[in-house]
Amino acid sequence: MHPLLLCISLLVVLLPGVANGEEIFQPRPVSSEAYAESYTSVVDLEDDTYILLQLMFTNAGMGDQKAACRALIVPPGSKGNNSVKRYSRDEWRYVPKEKGLYVGECALSTLGKKTDFVVKTDAAHAYLTIDAAPSKTKPPESRLTYEKTFLESEILIRNAAAKVTLVMGGKTYSKKGRAYLDHSRSTALMPNIASRWLRFRGLRSNESLLFQIRYPSDSSKSARGWIWAHGNKIEPLTPKMFRAQIADNKVAVRGLVKPLDFEMLTKSLIYDYRPVEQYGMLGALAKPWIGNPINRTFRAQVRFRGKIITGTIEYQELAK
């Protein structure tokens, strides 16, 4: 797969039916060569299997409005299986009557109070059903701009019960867990928007917790973010409200004000993804567009207002 398609889409803030009269699962391409759009679901299963499913769209490289399906599946104790299948513009479509987005053999659709996400690559097939219909929530900094470019994101499903059937290596597995879904769209190059991101997703129960911190590319500007706890509104985080420490494979974040009584710690590495290194010369060609991203996903725990919430931390940084 062309590295620009994969890398730009993956670094969009990982962030369906109809809401407010708009077709949520219908991509909205623009003419910019840097256009990238993605629908991403993160699934945390009861047996600690971690799954990330994506539909991605981009103009980068030769041809416009190309698409791809991605499945990252990491069973406990495994190095994980990351696979992608790409498609041309005439191989994907949105069908309003079915509220469905179809990319080759992959699909994202909703009916009633269910959302279905199917990703098929040469290495794995994943059939995900989420027990919730999508609706849009725009967190703080849901739209960021740089000169005439932008990055916008929205949460579509915060945390819902889910079941998934996986077909890998000639075997079929059916498992239960909980899932999250978001949508992002961008014409901005990632090095112009942020140098680092931190995202925690606690999906193990109804007591969900979502958390994000963005470090601006301009080092003179302070990091800021937001936190969304179950039963509460999304609360913006200013620099005086938290302290984050990042070193190698360890991340620690602590709230500094009484209403935000939390402490977040990484436990173990789930997956380490470095697309520029993986794609060799092609990755080097993509570096001016996307920088040199390092994406690490960890198993993590948060102590929040007296409760322990288990989840995952996604840490992205642009290496030199």
Task: Please write the tens of the pLDDT for every residue from 137-149.
Answer: 999 999 999 999 9
Provide the β-strand partners of residue 173.
Answer: 166
Name the domain count of the chain. 1
164/116 Cα distance (integer angstroms): 10
Q: Which amino acid is at 229?
A: A
φ/ψ of 138, rounded to 5, equals: -105, 110
Among residues 300, 303, 320, 287, the alpha carbon closest in space to that of 11 is found at: 287
108/118 Cα distance (integer angstroms): 6
CA 279, chain centre distance (Å): 21
Three-state SS at 116:
strand
Task: List, for residues 186-235, the tens digit of each pLDDT value.
Answer: 999 888 999 999 999 999 877 789 999 999 988 888 999 999 988 789 99
- Considering Cα of 234, then 224, then 242, then 309, what sign does the dihedral take? positive
Q: Which stretches of the chain drop beneath a pLDDT of 50?
A: 1-21, 280-283, 285
123/177 Cα distance (integer angstroms): 22
Three-state SS at 105:
coil
Q: Which two tokens stand for residue 142?
A: 């849901």
Query: So what's the pLDDT on residue 277?
Result: 62
Among residues 51, 102, 124, 60, the alpha carbon closest in space to that of 286 is found at: 60
According to DSSP H, which parts of 261-320 are helical?
Answer: 275-278, 280-290
Q: Which amino acid is at 281?
A: M
Query: So what's the pLDDT on residue 189?
Result: 87
Question: Residue 110: which CATH number?
Answer: 2.40.370.10
Query: So what's the pLDDT on residue 64?
Result: 92
Query: So what's the pLDDT on residue 6?
Result: 41
DSSP code of residue 306 = T
Supply the range of the domain harboring residue 241.
Answer: 3-319
Query: So what's the pLDDT on residue 12?
Result: 39
